[in-house]
Amino acid sequence: MIKRLQSLWVVLLLSSLPGLTPQAFAHHSFAMYNNTQQMKFTGKVTRFDWTNPHVYIEMTASQADGSTKKWTIECANISILGRIGWTFNMIKVGDQITVIVAPLNSGQPGALLKQVTLPDGRKMGNGNPAGPPDPKLVEG
């Protein structure tokens, strides 16, 4: 009887482990973004969400025809960004920022951040998983 209870506890413990560590089993694909056609634009921050599983920047950017487009830009998680120098208050609503992004393949105004230039001129990346910005856009 005791051996049976011990076996039951082992089974229960082992079956609960995946639920305790979802990050260890998580997978994220960047296939929805077009990394070969990166773009650079400047706009005004309308929202900055410092949350997990991803940080988000929402901003409006002027278009060539004079209209504005609202963008939602996905960043890495707060753990990755914190390790490379980001802080929860470094981007504020109303800030004018320049971003280099990989746009959504669908053409919708969403993108994966590659680099952001802050109002004080600092350039911040998005961590290794997102990959680097296109060097031609960094210089230009």
Name 96's bridge partners: 44
Provide the pairing of β-strand 68-74 with 110-117. Answer: parallel
Domain 39-139, CATH homologous superfamily name and number: Nucleic acid-binding proteins (2.40.50.140)
Q: What is the pLDDT of residues 63-77, one digit of tens each?
A: 889 999 999 999 999
DSSP-assigned letters across all residues of 68-128: EEEEEEE---HHHHHHTT--TTSS-TT-EEEEEEEEBTT-SSEEEEEEEE-TTS-EEE--G
Q: What is the pLDDT of residues 19-74, one digit of tens each?
A: 443 443 444 688 999 999 999 999 999 999 999 999 999 999 998 899 999 999 99
CB-based contact 114:101 (threshold 8 Å): yes
User: What's phi and psi for 97, nearest 5 deg?
Assistant: -130, 160
Share of the chain above pLDDT 90, in %: 72
How far apart (Å, rounded) are the C-alpha atoms in residues 81 and 126? Answer: 7
Domain positions in the chain: 39-139
CB crowding 66-94: b at 16 or more within 10 Å, else e: eeeeebbbbbbbbebbeeeebeeebbeee
3-state secondary structure of 40: strand
